[in-house]
Structure 1
Amino acid sequence: MQSWLSRYVEAQHRALDSISLPDVEQAVATVKRAWEEDRQIFAIGNGGNAASASHFATDLGKGASDALGRRFRILTLADNVAWLTAIGNDYKFDDVFLRPLENYARPGDVLIASSVSGSSPNLVRAMEWARDNDLRTIALVGAKRGGIATLAEQAIVVADTHYGRVEDVQMTILHMICYAFMEQTKEPA
């Protein structure tokens, strides 16, 4: 067990080390611009990444907003179970993020999608719609990259394919975005 745990931790360090800090800095700048322009930010993901999107929305909407003294407009589209299941049942699961974007998103808003594979059809459809409707887009993906990495204006790639490691690193990236506002001066560079 000790050997396996050591290998896991070593692999986690390699995954963390694969983060491109300039890419994270660019994502912080995109989120800052949304804040400055009073734009809406949407966070989406499936499974563990849906939970991470909720965590990100909480940290940005509460902690970063408190630190800056003006609120971020942030929503995760995975938190409304009634709406998700109605769309999945009445239309198709591939539309669960697309349809709420059609209701809420405006040009200049930001969509942040997080996925290990980058290929989930519901994320791809949302990212396509966002691109076609002039949203700013950020994809957090694993080494396979997938369709959302190709569609996004900005892609932050974690150089691993292990779901647990990639999701952990993606949450670290989301925390870095939030804490850039919470631990920097009132407005990070």
Structure 2
Amino acid sequence: RGEHIFNKKQNSLNQKMTTNFSANCSLAYSELKNKEVKINFIVFSVEKNGADYKIDVSHKGEGGLTGVKNIFKNEFESKIRFAVIRVDGVDDKNELISTRNKHIYISYIGPKAPVRVRGSMSVLLPQVENFLGSFVQYKMSINGAEMEEKMSIKYIGKMLLKFSSAHKPEYYDFGDGQTISIADLYLSK
């Protein structure tokens, strides 16, 4: 009897699970990568249907870090979501402005997400990362309880500094009116 239960569980684990990304995902992601387009974030929704997952764009816009944070906080307390935000590293030297885009991939688990929903994150993470490819330079995993700390300009700014090249910008622009200078980041260590 115990062996039958084990085999039944094993068979259900071996079922082929598929993850499908809607055409909207590719379109929105292309827009985000295009410097001429103003959107600076995308939030991806995840819907489960049997053994399959469908990923679509639930939000995109110009609200930057604040926009994504508000969406997570107000709409997805019991869900998992994925987002990509663009943060610009800006140099302003002698009236010559240079901007380098940094793209950050965020996996988010709402504070009220059931265990079965949380468990699907481990299955979906590599598939979403594969979809995003090498264009995304930074990754963050956040649960609802960590949101205020990890989704702050100081936390993300320090992460960008830690993993960036030798040449540092003057400041980071989070696309929502918030900026933080590199000098302030060094002072806050």
Task: Say yes or no: TM over 0.5.
Answer: no
**Greater relative contact order (CA < 8 Å, ≥ 6 in sequence):** 1
Structure with the higher helix share, 1 or 2: 1
Structure with the higher strand share, 1 or 2: 2
Question: When the two structures are superposed, what TM-score results if normalisation uses the length of structure 1?
Answer: 0.28
Question: When the two structures are superposed, what TM-score results if normalisation uses the length of structure 2?
Answer: 0.28
Bigger Rg over Cα: 2
